[in-house]
Amino acid sequence: MEFTFMHNNFNVLDLQKSIAFYKEALGLIELRRIEAPDKSFTIAFLGDGRTSHQLELTWLSDRTEPYDLGDNEIHLAMCVENITEALKKHKNMGCVCFENKAMGIYFIEDPDGYWIEIIPKRKG
C-alpha cells in the first residue's frame, strides 16, 4: 500500500487576498476551485506548476474572526534556487517574519498568519 502527498489546507478570511499573496510571494497559481452551491464555502487549490503537491485555501462565508493558529509551529516549507534574491523580494514585500541566519533559512507570513519556511535548494 502506497500513500502520496496531495495537499495541505489553510483556512483563510479573504480568499482573493490570499491567492494574490501566494502568487506574488511564491509564484503559486490557482489550479482549480470548488464552490458550494449555497455559497457557504469556496476552496481554491494552488500549485507550483512543477510538483503535484497543492495548497488548499478554504474560505468559509460565515467566518469573520481570524483563525487561532496557536503557537504557529505548523508550517509549509518551500525551497528556492536563489535564497538571497528570494529573501530580498520577501523583505520588499514586508512578509519576512523570522530569519535563522545560522541555518540559512527564513520564514514569511501570509495574510492570515500562517508561516512558510523558505530554504535553499540543496545541491546534489
Rounded Cα distance, 52 and 38, in Å: 30
Among the options 30, 56, 99, 117, which is catalytic?
Answer: 117
Is residue 117 annotated as a catalytic residue, yes or no? Answer: yes
Kindly give, in sequence order, each residue whose CB lies less than 8 Å from that of residue 43, ignoring residues fewer than 6 positions away.
Answer: 33, 34, 35, 56, 57, 58, 59
Which residue numbers are catalytic?
Answer: 117
